[in-house]
Amino acid sequence: MFERIKAAVSLERHHLDVPIGVIDVGSNTVRLLVSQHGRTLLSKREMLRLGADIEQHGEIPVAKLDLTESVVKRFAEDARSAGADVLEILIASPGRQAGNGALLAQRLERASRSRTRILTALEEGHLAFLGALSCAGVAGRHTIAVVDVGGGSAQIVTGTRKGGPTWARSIDLGSQRLTSRILSEDPPGAPAVSTARIEVDRYLAGLDPPPARALLAVGGSARALKRIVGGQITAAELENALDLLATTPTGVLARRYRIDEGRARTLLAGAVIFSAIQKVLGIPLDVQRGGLREGAVLALAARHAAAA
């Protein structure tokens, strides 16, 4: 995996002349990215909240399987219309956590007529690392930590631009799962936040990442937090954000900060997880636009170039 990451990093300077498409099926959203020469040609998303169904039922209900298949089929058609004959479907934590994750993969592969695979937690973290560094201006030898808080899990990866990732961990808890378990009231209130902190700390027990020069935050929760706090987020700013999110109704947050209401519903949980990880690493969060999909496009382009 490390060697594929390094090959993809080198490809940043040697972009292919064909559009590359990736559809990312996550616990909160299904997203499409079509890119060429590092430029976004098409970006779409649908919030399906698969993680909430998995947390409640242990699997994805038939109706939601049907809906996911329909969305992915449509996104695949859109990607091909944009010129992306090279297309891959990646299933993140829903594939690992749902009892019928393998069935989801089979249905999406048939519907999209594209290679479909369930990412391991390690692969998910490595791709987020690659995507973050492809957009961030960091020195080649500095150790960087990348944190991706998704709906069903969170990944922490450290390494360098020059050498690739060298340390990675995943916790089986994300913003959607934590919301479903503890923060489902609207607004949840401060006591629920205290309970959520205890739950997150339980998952982070024993986590000992190597020291890092910078902490890059990626994913939908990070981008939504940026709308409230800014691009670089200190521990104190995170605490202020937690107070705000704990006491403000979802609809008000969505309107005030122009955040999708579905995202606003799980943002407090994402902030609780980011806060706990930020305390472990001891440096501010720097929100990046690049993440898993950008890394997946680079990795897919590298494989396509190697096979050409």
The ranges assigned to domains in the chain are 2-121+292-307, 137-287
Task: Spell out the residues 6+ positions from residue 307 whose beta carbon is closer than 8 angstroms to its own.
Answer: none
- The Cα–Cα gap between 153 and 237 comes to 23
Q: State the alpha helices, DSSP H only, in the chain.
A: 2-11, 50-57, 62-81, 93-97, 101-112, 121-135, 175-181, 190-204, 220-228, 235-247, 250-257, 261-281, 292-307
Distances, alpha carbon 239 to alpha carbons 172, 236, 245, 274, 276, in Å: 23, 5, 10, 11, 11
- The Cα–Cα gap between 284 and 225 comes to 13
Fold of 2-121+292-307: Nucleotidyltransferase; domain 5 (3.30.420)
- β-pairing, 154-160 vs 144-149, is antiparallel
In terms of residues, how long is the chain? Answer: 308
- Whole-prediction pTM: 0.92
8-state DSSP, 17: S
- Asked if 2-121+292-307 and 137-287 have one fold, the answer is yes
CATH architecture of residue range(s) 137-287: 2-Layer Sandwich (3.30)
Tens place of pLDDT per residue across the chain (308 aa): 545 555 555 544 445 578 999 999 999 999 999 999 889 999 999 999 999 999 999 999 999 999 999 999 999 999 999 999 999 999 999 999 999 999 999 999 999 999 999 999 999 999 999 999 988 777 668 899 999 999 999 999 999 988 889 999 999 999 999 999 999 999 999 999 999 999 999 999 999 999 999 999 999 999 999 999 977 899 999 999 999 999 999 999 999 999 999 999 999 999 999 999 999 999 999 999 889 999 999 999 888 877 76
CB atoms within 10 A of CB 192: 18
- β-pairing, 285-287 vs 214-218, is parallel
SS3 per residue for 182-227: CCCCCCCCHHHHHHHHHHHHHHHCCCCCCCCCEEEEECHHHHHHHH
